Chain A
Amino acid sequence: MHEEIIFAGFGGQGVLFAGQLLAYTALEEGRHVTWIPSYGPEMRGGTANCTVVVSDEPIGSPVCLHPSIAVVFNNPSLEKYEPLVKPGGLLIVNQSLMVAAPQRADLEIVLVPATEIATEIGQVRATNMILFGALLARRPLVRVETVRAVLQDKLGARKAHLHEINMAALERGLAIGRPVFSE
Chain B
Amino acid sequence: MAVELLKGNVALAEAAIRAGVEAYFGYPITPQTELLEHMAQRMPELGRAFVQAESELAAINMVYGAACAGARAMTSSSSPGISLMQEGFSYIAGSEVPAVVVDIMRGGPGLGNIQPSQADYFQVTRSAGHGDYHPIVLAPASVQEAIDLMVLAFDLADKYRHVVLVVADGLIGQMMEPAELPPMRPLRAERPDWALTGAQGRAPRIITSLELDAPALEEVNNRLQAKLREIREHEQRYAEQMVEDARLVVVGYGTAGRIAQTAVRQARREGMRVGLFRPITLWPFPERRLSRLADRVDAFLVVEMNAGQMLDDVRLAAGGQVPVDFYGRTGGMVPVPEEIYEAISALYRKLPDSARWGE
Listed in ascending order, the chain A residues whose CB lies under 8 Å from chain B are 20, 23-24, 27, 32-37, 39-41, 59-66
Which residues on A sit within 8 Å (CB–CB) of B114? Answer: 39-41
Q: How long is the Cα–Cα vector from A65 to B338 in the complex, in angstroms?
A: 7
Which residues on B sit within 8 Å (CB–CB) of A24? Answer: 5
Known contacts A63-B334, A65-B338; A39 and B175 CB within 8 A of each other: no
Q: How long is the Cα–Cα vector from A27 to B178 in the complex, in angstroms?
A: 7
Which residues on A sit within 8 Å (CB–CB) of B258? Answer: 60-62
In contact, A65 and B336 (Cβ under 8 angstroms): yes
Give which listed residue, B176, B261, B265, contacts A35 with CB less than 8 A: B176
- A5 to chain B minimum Cβ distance, whole angstroms, is 14
Which residues on B sit within 8 Å (CB–CB) of A20? Answer: 5, 176
Which residues on B sit within 8 Å (CB–CB) of A64? Answer: 336-337
In contact, B174 and A33 (Cβ under 8 angstroms): no
Q: How long is the Cα–Cα vector from A110 to B42 in the complex, in angstroms?
A: 45
Residue B177 at the chain A interface, CB threshold 8 Å: yes
* CB neighbors of A among B187-242 (8 A): none
Q: How long is the Cα–Cα vector from A62 to B141 in the complex, in angstroms?
A: 11
Question: Would you give the 0/1 interface string for B111-127, flagging 1 where the beta carbon is closer than 8 Å to chain A?
Answer: 00010000000000000
Which residues on A sit within 8 Å (CB–CB) of B28? Answer: none
In contact, B5 and A27 (Cβ under 8 angstroms): yes
> What are 24 A-B interface contacts by the 8 Å CB criterion?
A20-B5, A23-B176, A27-B3, A27-B4, A27-B178, A32-B178, A33-B178, A34-B177, A35-B5, A36-B174, A39-B30, A39-B114, A39-B170, A41-B114, A60-B258, A60-B265, A61-B336, A62-B175, A63-B171, A63-B334, A64-B337, A65-B337, A65-B339, A66-B338
Q: How long is the Cα–Cα vector from A65 to B336 in the complex, in angstroms?
A: 6
The residue of chain B having its C-beta at the shortest distance from the C-beta of A41 within the complex is B114
Residue B31 at the chain A interface, CB threshold 8 Å: yes
Q: How long is the Cα–Cα vector from A20 to B334 in the complex, in angstroms?
A: 21
- A152 to chain B minimum Cβ distance, whole angstroms, is 16
Which residues on B sit within 8 Å (CB–CB) of A40? Answer: 114
- A175 to chain B minimum Cβ distance, whole angstroms, is 29
Residue B59 at the chain A interface, CB threshold 8 Å: no
Give which listed residue, A33, A37, A60, contacts B337 with CB less than 8 A: A60
Q: How long is the Cα–Cα vector from A88 to B126 in the complex, in angstroms?
A: 48
* CB neighbors of A among B228-277 (8 A): 258-263, 265
Which residues on A sit within 8 Å (CB–CB) of B259? Answer: 60-63
In contact, B5 and A39 (Cβ under 8 angstroms): no
The residue of chain B having its C-beta at the shortest distance from the C-beta of A52 within the complex is B176
Q: How long is the Cα–Cα vector from A27 to B4 in the complex, in angstroms?
A: 8
The residue of chain A having its C-beta at the shortest distance from the C-beta of B4 within the complex is A27
Which residues on B sit within 8 Å (CB–CB) of A36? Answer: 171, 174-176
Q: How long is the Cα–Cα vector from A24 to B174 in the complex, in angstroms?
A: 16
- B200 to chain A minimum Cβ distance, whole angstroms, is 50
In contact, B262 and A39 (Cβ under 8 angstroms): no
Q: How long is the Cα–Cα vector from A34 to B174 in the complex, in angstroms?
A: 11
Give which listed residue, B4, B171, B178, B339, contacts A62 with CB less than 8 A: B171
Q: How long is the Cα–Cα vector from A62 to B177 in the complex, in angstroms?
A: 10
Q: How long is the Cα–Cα vector from A138 to B171 in the complex, in angstroms?
A: 30
Question: Would you give the 0/1 interface string for B19-38, flagging 1 where the beta carbon is closer than 8 Å to chain A?
Answer: 00000000000110000000
Which residues on B sit within 8 Å (CB–CB) of A66? Answer: 338
Which residues on A sit within 8 Å (CB–CB) of B3? Answer: 27
- A13 to chain B minimum Cβ distance, whole angstroms, is 19
Which of A24, A33, A63 has most chain B Cβ within 10 Å? A63
Which residues on B sit within 8 Å (CB–CB) of A59? Answer: 177
In contact, B176 and A61 (Cβ under 8 angstroms): no
- A76 to chain B minimum Cβ distance, whole angstroms, is 20
The residue of chain A having its C-beta at the shortest distance from the C-beta of B176 within the complex is A35
Question: Would you give the 0/1 interface string for B159-176, flagging 1 where the beta carbon is closer than 8 Å to chain A?
Answer: 000000000001100111
Q: How long is the Cα–Cα vector from A40 to B115 in the complex, in angstroms?
A: 8
Which residues on A sit within 8 Å (CB–CB) of B262? Answer: 60-61
* CB neighbors of A among B73-116 (8 A): 114
Give which listed residue, B175, B260, B265, contacts A34 with CB less than 8 A: B175
Known: A60-B262, A61-B261, A61-B336. 15 other contacts (CB 8 A): A24-B5, A27-B178, A33-B5, A33-B177, A34-B175, A34-B177, A35-B177, A36-B176, A37-B174, A41-B30, A59-B177, A60-B265, A60-B337, A61-B262, A64-B336
Q: How long is the Cα–Cα vector from A60 to B336 in the complex, in angstroms?
A: 11
Give which listed residue, A27, A32, A39, A41, contacts B174 with CB less than 8 A: A39
Which residues on B sit within 8 Å (CB–CB) of A35? Answer: 5, 175-177
Q: How long is the Cα–Cα vector from A122 to B174 in the complex, in angstroms?
A: 33
Q: How long is the Cα–Cα vector from A64 to B262 in the complex, in angstroms?
A: 10
Q: How long is the Cα–Cα vector from A85 to B336 in the complex, in angstroms?
A: 14
